[in-house]
Amino acid sequence: MKIYLPTRLLGMKRGNLIFVILGSIFALVCLRLGFWQLSRLSERKALNRELSARATTAPVPMNQLPKDTGAAHFRRVRVSGVYDYTHEIYVTNRTRNGSPGVQLVTPLRVAGTDTAVLVTRGWVYAPDGMTIERSRWKEPDTLNGDAFVEFFNTGNGNAKLAGRDRSYRWLDERTLAQDFPYPIAPYHLILISGGAAAGPNVPPRLDVPPLDEGPHQSYAIQWFSFATISIIGMFLFVRRK
Contact 100, 85 (CB under 8 A): no
pLDDT score recorded for residue 36: 92
> In a structure prediction context, what are the per-residue pLDDT tens digits for the chain, which is 241 residues long?
454 455 555 555 766 777 778 888 888 999 999 999 988 888 887 767 776 777 777 788 888 887 777 778 888 889 899 999 999 999 999 988 889 999 999 999 998 889 999 999 999 999 998 988 888 888 888 988 888 888 888 777 788 888 788 899 999 988 888 889 999 999 899 998 876 666 677 888 887 766 677 888 888 899 989 888 888 887 787 777 6
Look at residues 16, 44, 75, 1 and name the one whose alpha carbon lies nearest to residue 233. Answer: 16
Residue 113 to residue 81: CA distance in whole angstroms: 11
Look at residues 168, 163, 154, 184 and name the one whose alpha carbon lies nearest to residue 89. Answer: 168
User: Which pTM was predicted?
Assistant: 0.71
Question: Which residues have C-beta within 8 Å of that of residue 46, sequence separation ≥ 6?
Answer: none
